[in-house]
Chain A
Amino acid sequence: MTARTQATVSAALMCVGALLLTAAAAATISRSSVTYETPDVSLVRADGKRVSLPQELDDGRPVLLNFIFTTCSSICPLASRTLEEFQRKLGRGASKVHLMSISIDPEEDTPARLRAYARKFHAGPEWQYYTGTVAASLAAQRAFDVYRGEKMSHTPVTLLRSAPGKPWLRIEGFVTPDELVDDYQKLLASP
């Protein structure tokens, strides 16, 4: 379940930018290319269906993955708004990329709560939300190196992958919708 980091994240960039609200926005983002081993866990999709995480990730499409919880009032709404804008900016192309948001507070985030949250951010059909047992959520968080001890310690991380078997682009910090579209298009164009 350990992550093999191909290009390590610049720790300095991460800390300087993210520590204070007074820090400049540009300094908060760092990107790295990472390979993760997907844990074989089952999750519950917002439509109530039990699904396999590897199968959801490997449906052939490019994937954008992040971790949220619905009662998070600061970081997550901004991250979710960014994905909403990302879908909007892609227009018709939005159907080609699978957006996945996994809850880090799965006991609270029932499928019904996730559906309401998805509606709030006008999630298109290609943007799906997942919950499940605490153990399954933790396994997913650990596999993608986003587990920070408890839900209030979470940091904004966006993960992008162009196809199954390819490395992930890990974006730490608050990426803007334009930057995210740019990252996505570059990732698709890269060999």
Chain B
Amino acid sequence: MTTRSCLLPPSIIRPGGRPLLSTGRAAARAALIALSGLLWVGALATPPPSSLRGADAACVNCHRRSGLGSIEGHIAIPPIAGPYLFVPRGERLAELGIPFVDTARINHDPYTDESLARAIRGGIGANGKTLNYLMPRYQIDDATMAELIGYLKGLRVSPSPGVSTSVLHFATIITPDADPVKRRGMLAVMNQYFVDKNNAVARTKAPTLYSSHTTMFRVERRWQLHVWELTGAPATWEAQLRKHLAAEPVFAVISGLGGSHWGPVQRFCEEQSLPCLFPNVEAPTGHDSDFYSVYFSRGVLLEAQLIARELADAAEPANRVVQVFRAGDVGVQAARDLQAARAHSGQQIVNRVLPAHATSKDLGAALRDVDAADALVLWLRPGDLSALEKVSPPTSRVWISGEMGGLEQAPLPASWRAAARMAYPVDLPGRRVVRVDYALSWFRIRKIPLLAQQVQADTYLACGLVSETLNHMVDAFVREYLIERVEMALDHRALTGYYPRLTLAPGQRFASKGGYIVRFSDPQGPRIAALGDWITP
């Protein structure tokens, strides 16, 4: 048997950045079994009755990266991190300092290396009963089994860095190219949320009588926010972030604010195994295959897909697609994605890049040769949209970015409103009003100035999601478990702010998947109408 470690990313070899029991090939191979199942490709497929094979048989699929288990329908998938397997019968987890996990089952004899091997190979549990059909039976040799058991024993359940007995440390990350008004709005929400949270904790007295596992293990901790403001060039951000993390270890990063670059932050979160939950980023660079970074939406990159689909579905294809965007803004990434999406269409894509300090004259010049047979896609901010007043729309096929233009508040001149359609990657105003009002009332009561409504509502939603998730986690402060529980909590969430639905899963890192194409209803004002249903491109 040969290891396949050369084919795998470092995160698989070293899951969650956790040190394995030993280093080198043996440990890496054990991690492979647990996390990727790749050792079973081919020769070591599991026999009946369970017929999963290859990566589908990896432990991580059900027991998750944390090793703390999960719940699927009626099936409680127990934790397999070492401490849970070897708890002596009759002992209480709390007394052993092992966190409460709701699927932990300890009313059986503790596993030994021998009985664990029997469970993994033959599907017979510590109590002699047959394990669920969902649990594969693995045909592995003694040496591999020893490595696997060693790996499970090495899965830590002690609190992650940034967690003390009384404080949970969180960070939020702001890049130097972030909008200063949005920055103020976001920080106002976060600071107030943390004050509220800590006031609630201060009012909570430690229970003197424990009535259930949950209350027995629950330890309310204060929340402390560390604002990591980056400076200088993006190439230096990862080093700055590593310094911040070393000086101020945090459990997770909540929200955050980016400009046109977020890649270095994304890479930092993955490399450091640090949950980065729902930052305000218009063009997130992550992938569904990442683990630690999750976003509400793909933002302008989603808009690019929505517009590409419109172009593809057009009854009469446009002659050319002319995209206009400013250098250094997120329109660059959006335009690139749209171009890629139309690469095989045969349609000519023309990109007109405005210098970062372009004037309305430059904008007019960029549109000069566009004619009625062309489609025009404008990745522009409100200032540029206002400046369109001096130009007539050269074609009736115009798309603008809702995210960049300010959604229904976009100052699109009256002369352009009949021609222009807007990519709109959030729920329609009338439909989201109740969900967003919840946040707006919270801001009003706490006298938080409304500076950037969507950023502030999303920030409030991110804080609320983390708070809600932590309630489910009781005292299992493991970073991977935080991500896994966020995935689960999101599906239950009724208050989803700007978004009609939010869902995540392993391999899903963008919670809202679609958007509308809308048109302005009036020559002035914010009234819009959707041109069709919600689209998931």
Q: Is the CB of A134 within 8 A of B62?
A: no
Chain B binding surface SS class: loop
Contact-residue size bin, chain B (C-beta under 8 Å from the other chain): 35 or more
Residues of B within 8 A of A78 (CB): 50-52, 56, 133-134
- Nearest Cβ distance between residue A158 and chain B, in whole angstroms? 13
| A133 is an interface residue with CB less than 8 A from chain B | yes
Q: Is the CB of A154 within 8 A of B73?
A: yes
Residue among A73, A82, A106, A154 facing the most chain B CB atoms (10 A cut-off): A73
| A22 is an interface residue with CB less than 8 A from chain B | yes
Q: A25-B130, A78-B134, A107-B501 are in contact. Are A18 and B74 (CB under 8 A)?
A: yes
Q: Is the CB of B56 within 8 A of A81?
A: yes
Q: Mark A137-172, 1 if CB is under 8 A from B, else 0.
A: 000000000001011111110000000000000000
Q: A74-B62, A151-B505 are in contact. Are A28 and B133 (CB under 8 A)?
A: yes
A-B contact count (CB 8 A): 121
| A23 is an interface residue with CB less than 8 A from chain B | yes
Q: A78-B51, A81-B52 are in contact. Are A22 and B105 (CB under 8 A)?
A: yes
For the complex, give the distance between the alpha carbons of A134 and B427 in Å.
14
Q: Is the CB of A21 within 8 A of B135?
A: yes
Q: A20-B105, A110-B536 are in contact. Are A75 and B501 (CB under 8 A)?
A: no
Of B60, B74, B506, which contacts A71 at CB under 8 A? B506
Q: Is the CB of A153 within 8 A of B73?
A: yes
Q: Which residues between 107 and 130 of chain A lie within 8 Å of chain B, taking CB atoms?
A: 107-108, 110
Nearest B residue to A134, CB-CB: B501
- Among B75-83, B194-202, B466-474, which stretch is in contact with chain A? B75-83
For the complex, give the distance between the alpha carbons of A75 and B133 in Å.
10
Q: Mark A77-116, 1 if CB is under 8 A from B, else 0.
A: 1100110010000000000000000000111101000000
Nearest B residue to A21, CB-CB: B132
Chain A binding surface SS class: loop
- Nearest Cβ distance between residue B389 and chain A, in whole angstroms? 38
For the complex, give the distance between the alpha carbons of A21 and B49 in Å.
15
Q: Mark B121-149, 1 if CB is under 8 A from A, else 0.
A: 00001010111111100000000000000
Q: Is the CB of A15 within 8 A of B508?
A: no
Q: Is the CB of B78 within 8 A of A105?
A: no
Of A21, A107, A150, which contacts B75 at CB under 8 A? A21
Q: Mark A24-62, 1 if CB is under 8 A from B, else 0.
A: 110010000000000000000000000000000000000
Q: Is the CB of B78 within 8 A of A21?
A: yes
Residues of B within 8 A of A176 (CB): 48-49, 133
For the complex, give the distance between the alpha carbons of A156 and B60 in Å.
20
For the complex, give the distance between the alpha carbons of A85 and B132 in Å.
20
Q: Which residues between 492 and 511 of chain B lie within 8 Å of chain A, taking CB atoms?
A: 492, 501, 503, 505-508
Of B61, B73, B76, B513, which contacts A107 at CB under 8 A? B513
For the complex, give the distance between the alpha carbons of A85 and B50 in Å.
11
Nearest B residue to A157, CB-CB: B73
Q: Is the CB of B505 within 8 A of A22?
A: no
Q: Is the CB of A74 within 8 A of B48?
A: no
For the complex, give the distance between the alpha carbons of A19 and B103 in Å.
11
Nearest 6 CB-CB pairings of A with B: A150-B491, A73-B61, A25-B133, A155-B73, A21-B132, A18-B74
Given contacts A152-B491, A174-B133, list 12 more A-B pairs with CB under 8 A: A14-B74, A20-B76, A25-B133, A72-B72, A78-B51, A78-B134, A81-B52, A85-B51, A133-B534, A150-B491, A151-B503, A177-B51
Can you list 9 A-B pairs, Cβ within 8 angstroms, ordered by A? Answer: A24-B130, A71-B506, A73-B60, A74-B72, A75-B72, A77-B52, A108-B536, A133-B533, A155-B73
Interface residues of B (CB under 8 A from A): 48-53, 56, 60-62, 70-78, 105, 108, 125, 127, 129-135, 488, 491-492, 501, 503, 505-508, 513-514, 533-534, 536
